[in-house]
Each structure stands twice: as structure tokens, then as C-alpha cells.
Structure 1
Amino acid sequence: MRAPVSEVRPAAVRAEDWSWRHAGRRSHAVSGASFDIEAGERVLLLGASGAGKSTLLHGLAGVLGGDEEGEAAGRLLVDGRPPAPDGRSGLVLQDPDAQIVMSRLADDVAFGCENLGVPPERIGARVRGALDAVGLALPADHPTSALSGGQRQRLALAGVIAMQPGLVLLDEPTANLDPAGVIEVRDAVARCLDASGATLIVVEHRIEAWLPLVDRVIVLAAGGGVLADGPPDRVLADASGELAAAGVWLPGAAPGATGAAAGGATDPVAGAAPSASEPLLTADGLAVGRSGVAVRTGIRTRLDAGRLLAITGPNGVGKTTLGLTLAGLLPPVAGRLEASGALRDGARSAHPIEWRSKQLLTRIGTVFQHPEHQFLRGSVRAELEVGPDALRLGRRERDARVAGLLDALRLDRLAGANPFTLSGGEKRRLSVATALIARPRLLILDEPTFGQDARTWQELVRLIAEVRDGGTGIAAITHDEAFAAALGDARLHLGARAEVRA
């Protein structure tokens, strides 16, 4: 193991047939997990979507809660003791918004240090060092509310680094980052580990960037226990094909092609669709922003029925703000954004921002960057019923739509579960399903493939392709180049300037 060169004491981890079942759930989120991790080891934790990777990290961070939140079996230990939220472990969550607590950048990074009782005279240096390490070169008083999704992830990582924990737990820390940001954050983690000697457990689906950093790979089995454990080269060789069958992304393996992506598929969820060449929404000289302050200007693009526009570009250039504006949820700062044809469909106004929520329901469906921001009810099934209920569909039609999407997105076994207890990948699939079920004419998807294993990625891409081929217009904000290549009919790249590529 690497020798630490700081005062940080690396932590040892042990799981002894450990299991966890969320309150109100019949099945376990994790079951029968057993392994030992030596102090200073760097581990990549893999497994299919829903295998319990995030739950295991939450357990090691000591934040799963007591008996009222779930039921544990076996033992989970950090340095021979049950985990506790005492600073020994530092966790970066899948949703960074869940751990941003202060309104100013430096204050948020300092928050954890202050709670741990770090002397005030040392906190400033820790904050500056952590922000430099993650490449967040912004003023100390920069509002956290003004950060992009990727910037929020870096802020959450900085808060953990500043605490100097002995065990660093990263739950898909680069999922919403552009390619350059992925390498920047990976290298920041590497520098911090080299300096501290801390133990690392990182969960990622796309693993190539992390392989140079880790000593070991542990793969959780979806049905319980550990599917594989050992050095990366040996585990990921996957001679038996078990990992590929379980949906684990393997190095160098391109996502499988789907028949739907090539066109010609029949859409199981869409009804009658507009013709595939019909313009639905046109932007010309569009400026987007919040509170009247533009973050992007001069946007010119068009969304057509039966075509997918991939919106790409680095973090912080306004992709999500553009998506919310196209969806009629933020007003344009300037320029023209007008609906036409089947999208307008008799509405008095051609401007989506002026439509009522019920008018938007069948016209524009939106999948937010963070799935939790759109959940309203206490079960997966009830969540899917929100749209049909608002449309006053009959029970038979409603139940048929719900059943079809539960099956298509592997959520049927979770129909009675609380949406907030799902894994990150399951939450993302549910959020896509809630937009699809109302059968809107236009879909705005923000990072639709986040958190998916190789198998659920293919299934989700196939379903989106079928919806597109059925005549629905789609705009997808994505850092997933494989998704953009598979389904994108055109691309709007937001970089130094906006450009559309056919």
C-alpha cells in the first residue's frame, strides 16, 4: 500500500455478510456482501444498476439511519467499528445538490471542517487547497445556486477533500462532467490520495478513466453477494462473460447497437405521431438565462418531429438552462422561441412559457438533470400515474401505459417502492418514464443515460429511439458521446460559440 505523507490516517474496511433492506421494501438493496479492504487501498466498486453500490457507500459513511429507515444484517466496519458520520469517512453523493448547504462557495467547502471542529486558522488553507484540487476557479463568495451541475459535483468533492477523511467514498463523481472535467476530477482525486494515503472506494459505470488510479475491483452481484473481486486486469478480463451478462461496462467495449436506433421500430408507448419532417419548435437569436441575466446568447436551432437534437458542450455553458427554456419552464431572455404545427396544436400563444401546465403535459415532456426534482408521490407506480391522472385517462388505459413502461425499463419489481429509495440509475429510468407516459409531442431530456449499466443503457436507448421513430421530437442534453452518436440526428454544440452540426 502507498505510504501516507500527511496526518491523515487511512481507514480499513470490512463487510461480513452485510445486508440492508430499506423500510417498506420487501427485497434487500444489498445482501450478503463480504470483503476486506486494507488501509490505503483504492477500490473500484462495480455492479449492475440496482445492485446496491450506493447503499453500500451510504452504509460505510454512517448515513443510512436507524431501524426506522431500514433493517441491517451482518456487520459493516470501518477501523473495526460500526460506521458513523464522524468525519472518518467522506462521501460524495450521486446528487451533489443533496450536500450543498451554504449559499457561498467557500462557506460550503468550509462547512464540514467547521462541524468537525477544525481550528479556524487552518480552515482557510484547506478550503483554498480543496478548490484548487478540483479545478473550481471561482471567487470565494460565488453563489452556489449559480453553479452548473458539473460544478456542483466538483464543489461536493472539494468539501470532502477539505475534511481530510481516512476513507473517501465517491458515488459516480464524474457522471455529469464533460470529458475534460472527468480527467480533471480524477487527477484531483489522485493528487489528494497521493498526499494523504486515504483509502478510496469509487463507484462508476464508465470505468476507463479510473483504472489507472485503482488497485482492485469489487463487483456486487445483483442477486446478492460479490460477483468478482481482485486486481483490475484479472477481474475485467471477464473470461466467463459473467460481468458482461450482468451489465457491467467493460474497458473498450462499445455499447451494443440496437435495432431501434437504426429506425423502423414500433413505439410501444406513443400514439398517433406528427409527420417526421414537421417543425415543432424554432429558436432564432435566442438568449437564455435566469432572473433576466443571459448565460448564452445567439442560439439558432430547430426541433423537428421524429428527430433528436443532441445538445453538447462543456459544463457551465448553459445547456441545462437552454433545456429548461425550450421546455417552457424558463422565459427567454431575448430572441424568438416559437412553437408551430402539432406542438402548438390550437394553443392561443406560440410561446411555450405562456402555456399552462396542462397544456405542456401533452406537448412538452421534461426530464430534469436530477431525477429527484420531479418526483411527487410515494411509490414508483403512483409516480407513473401522475400524468395519466392529470389527463383523466380511464383506468384501463392508465394501467396499460404504466405496466408497459415498468416492464420496458426494468422497474416492475420496484412498483411499490418509494422513488427516493431507488438507485441513481433506477431514479433516472423512472424520471424518463414519467415524461414518456403522457406521450408528449416533444421531449427535453437532460442527461437521460446517467447511472445506467451496459444492459439498461441499451434498453433505454432502444426505447428513446422507438419514441423518436414514432414521430416525437427530442432534444437531449448529454455528455454521453455513445448516446449522441447512436441517436443524434443533429447536434447543437455549446462551446465558445453555438454551432449546429448535421
Structure 2
Amino acid sequence: ALSGGQKQRLALAGALAMRPGLLLLDEPTANLDPEGVREIRASVERVVAATGATLVVIEHRTAVWADLMTRVIVVGADGGLLADGTPDEVFRVHGDALAEAGVWVPGHPVGLPVLPVRRAADPADAILTTRDLAVTRDRRRAVQRGLELAVPDGTATVIVGPNGAGKSTLALTLAGLLDALHGTVEAAEGLRGRRGLDPIRWTSRELLTRIGMVFQDPEHQFLTQTVRDELAVGPRALGWDKERIDAVVDALLERLGLTALAAANPFTLSGGQKRRLSVATVLAAAPAVIVLDEPTFGQDRRGWIGIVSLLQEEIARGTTVVAVTHDADVIRHLGGHRIELAA
């Protein structure tokens, strides 16, 4: 019943409670809200100071931990050593080269445009609207209720809020994958399915071209034995010819750095590679609305830029993008409309 961020905090709390001599953390702040990141960072620092434990952190977002570290080891994509030294030495001396290699270097800009923010959404321009909506995971308890929302067409909407506020549940409900406990979700007339305007009533084929969903856990949407076949699932279901499918698949493989992994089993990829594949599988079918739950978690700098720039291009083409995220840089670069959920 816990959210992804709450599960992460629980796992970390269990490790810290053991007061170990060696504390090894793999992406410890993934999917945490900003307050959760600060709490975890402070808790780890207190435990290390009190016990004298050795701390090893595997992390893409280095700025969170840089001032606590005495040594930074940077490993390249080929397994070779890119840098090894104090944080100041590694980031100051090698910063530009490391950023080019895909490392998040504190203070190093990503070089993408910042899209404008829309202060209010006009229901008349909305592609999705909700009325007195209550969302639920278990059909018994509402995690949010009374939601009167409008998702503007052809721009970004970012859903923010603390862990456990119901952001993922709302996203799944908007995408037609969870039924509402109360109230309604209604799509614009241009998206009407055979059974009406409520996405939960549409067939899977109707959803393919109308609303695509990128799950928080990428493995929840993988169906095939190879990366290439995974990308072709949607286009094949839509009846596209082989030439068109191959062109779309090849372009996405290249764009998101997955070409060398085309024959790999999706379940054997790294966390960051799985995330890029999950985003690409939805983009392959070119839906009118893309709903993404934490689209950039687990990404190095290069992967992050690839995903965010691709979403910016989709917005420029008129696609509606709805993103659940704690990533302040994603929020800033996607711009658009905000939906903020309280705890």
C-alpha cells in the first residue's frame, strides 16, 4: 500500500537502524520528494558521524552527496575508470569532460530550453477534465478526493506533491487504467472512444493512440523478449507495415541510446536503460496524450537530456504530456501547467 517513495524511505530506515560498519546505498534518494531527500541525507550523515561507518553511495545526482564525500570514483559506460579523487578535484578539474560523458556535475547546466509556465488551465482548452474526482488504489479508500482538474491540450502538465499524496494513482486514473472511486474523468470530444469520453471505458487499442502510460516501475509494462520487439508492440497492434515499424523503432533506439541493446532482454537492462525503454515504448505508438510517472529516475546526465529533450519535442508537435515528478529540473524544463497534491 506504500508509494514508491515511501518504500524507498522504509528500506533506508531499515538499513540505518542496523547501524552497520559499512553502509552501501544504491540510488538512495530515487523517487523521493525534496523533503524526503533532505531527511535521508541528514539521517545518513548522522549515522555515519555517530558510528564511524564507511559510506559508499552509488548515485547519478552527485550534488546531494558531494559535500559528505571524501572520494569520488567515476566509472565509464565501458567499465573503465574516468576519474578518482576528492570531490573538488574530480568535479573542478574534470568537470567538462565528465559532463560530456554523461556524469551529473554539480552546477553544470544541461543546455536545454526552459519552457514557459502556464498559471491556470482553462477547462475549455482541456484534453482531460475531472469532476469531483476521488482516486483510489484498492477501491475502498480514497487517497485524494474532490479533484476538479483540467489538463490543457498540447502542453505539459506536471503533477507534484509529497510521497504518498496519490500522484501515481491520479496518473493511472487519468490514463484510463484505474477506475475512479467517485466522480468522473472526461476526455475532449476529439478523443471520444466507441464507449464515450471516459478513458476507463476505452479498449486497449483505443488507448494506444489516445493515452499512453509510462509506469513508475518500468518492468510492469514489458511484454517481449527483446528491446526491439518491445518497441514494436504498439505499432504492430495498430497494424502498421514493417517498413514503418522499423523506421520508428530504429529512430527511438538511436535517440535514447539503446541501439546496441536492441537484441537484449528488457529485464536484463540497467534501471536507467529500462526507464528509457519504457518511455520509448509509449512514444512508438504516437498517442495524443503521454502520461509518465517519474520519467527521469535513474538517469545519468546524457539519458536525462535525451528523455527531456524528446518530451519537449513532443510538446512542440502538439502532444499533451502529463508527468509525475519530484525532479525540479524536469518541472522547470517542461514548463506548462501544475497540479499540486497535498499529503
Normalization by structure 2: what TM-score?
Answer: 0.92
Partners of 1:357 and 1:166 in 2: CA distance: 51
Partners of 2:45 and 2:68 within 8 A in 1 = yes
Q: Deviations over 1:47-70 (max 9, x none)?
A: xxxxxxxxxxxxxxxxxxxxxxxx
Post-superposition offset of 1:192: 2.2
Displacement after TM superposition at 1:465 (Å):
1.0
Relative contact order higher in (CA < 8 Å, ≥ 6 apart): 2
Aligned to 2:148: 300
Of 237, 240, 245, 1:393 maps to: 240
Specify the alignment match of 1:257 in structure 2. Answer: 112
Given that residues 73 and 83 in structure 2 are in contact (C-alpha distance below 8 angstroms), is that contact kept between their aligned partners in structure 1?
A: yes
Partner of 1:338: 186
Please give the alpha-carbon distance, in whole angstroms, between the structure 2 residues aligned to 1:421 and 1:237.
35
One-letter code aligned to 2:81 = V
Give the letter aligned to residue 256 of structure 1. Answer: G
Matching residue within 18, 23, 29 for 1:168: 23
Q: Deviations over 1:95-139 (max 9, x none)?
A: xxxxxxxxxxxxxxxxxxxxxxxxxxxxxxxxxxxxxxxxxxxxx
Instruction: Summarize the Cα distance change of 1:476–1:334 in structure 2 as closer, same or farther, 3 Å threshold.
Output: same
Q: Which amino acid aligns with 1:228?
A: A
Deviates more, 1:443-452 or 1:250-259: 250-259
Tell me the percent identity: 55
Alignment of 1:190 onto 2:37: no
Comparing 154-163 and 312-321, the one that deviates more? 154-163
Question: Could you tell me which of 73, 98, 102 is aligned with 1:243?
Answer: 98
The answer to which of 239-248 and 481-490 deviates more is 239-248
1:414 aligned residue (249, 261, 270): 261
Aligned match of 1:124: none
1:378 is matched with: 225
Which of 270, 288, 297 is the equivalent residue of 1:441? 288
Aligned AA (1:312): V
Alignment counterpart, residue 224 of structure 1, candidates 73, 79, 93: 79
Following superposition, the deviation at residue 181 of structure 1 comes to 0.4
Q: Within the alignment, does 1:279 sit opposite 2:130 as a pair?
A: no
Paired AA for residue 127 in structure 2: L
Q: Quick one: which amino acid aligns to residue 211 of structure 2? A: I
TM-score when scaled to structure 1? 0.64
1:322 and 2:170 correspond: yes
Secondary structure of 2:84's aligned partner = strand
Conservation of the 8 A alpha-carbon contact between 1:258 and 1:458: no
What does 1:64-83 correspond to in 2, within 5 Å? none
For the Cα contact (< 8 Å) 1:286–1:335, is it kept in 2?
A: yes
Greater CA deviation, 300-309 or 475-484?
A: 300-309
- Structure 1 partner of 2:120: none
CA distance in 2, matches of 1:160, 1:208: 22
In 2, are the aligned partners of 1:343 and 1:442 still within 8 Å (CA)? no
Whichever residue aligns with residue 188 of structure 2, its letter is: S
**Inter-partner Cα distance in structure 2 for 1:460 and 1:231:** 30
Q: Which runs of 5+ in 2 are unaligned?
A: 117-123
Which residue of the partner structure matches residue 119 of structure 2? none
Q: How far, CA to CA, are the matches of 1:254 and 1:493 in structure 2?
A: 26
AA matched with 2:173 = T
- Within 2, Cα distance between the matches of 1:395 and 1:191? 58
User: Over residues 9-42 of structure 1, what are the superposed CA-to-partner deviations in whole Å (9 max), with x where a residue is unaligned?
Assistant: xxxxxxxxxxxxxxxxxxxxxxxxxxxxxxxxxx
State the distance in 2 between where 1:358 and 1:166 align: 53
Q: 1:195 to 1:312 in 2, by over 3 A?
A: same
- Whether 1:208 and 2:55 are equivalent positions in the alignment is no
1:367 aligns with 2:214: yes
Give the superposition deviation at 1:258.
4.0
Q: Is the 2:134–2:143 Cα contact (8 Å) retained in structure 1?
A: yes
State whether residues 156 and 323 of structure 2, in contact with CA within 8 Å, keep that contact through their aligned partners in structure 1. Answer: yes
Residue 292 of structure 1 deviates from its aligned partner by: 3.0
What is the Cα deviation at residue 454 of structure 1? 1.8
Question: Given that residues 159 and 324 in structure 2 are in contact (C-alpha distance below 8 angstroms), is that contact kept between their aligned partners in structure 1?
Answer: yes
Q: CA deviation at 1:239?
A: 4.5
Q: Quick one: distance in 1 between partners of 2:37 and 2:94?
A: 29
Residue number among 265, 270, 290 corresponding to 1:423 in the alignment: 270
Give how far 1:163 is off. 4.4
Aligned length: 335
Provide closer, same or farther for how the CA distance between residues 446 and 240 of structure 1 changes in structure 2, counting only shifts above 3 A: closer
Task: Compute the RMSD of aligned alpha carbons.
Answer: 1.8
Q: Radius of gyration: which is bigger? A: 1
Aligned to 2:8: 153
Quote the offset at 1:278 in angstroms. 5.0
From the two aligned structures, give the one with the greater helix fraction: 2
Taking the TM superposition and a 5 Å limit, the aligned residue runs for 1:27-66 are none
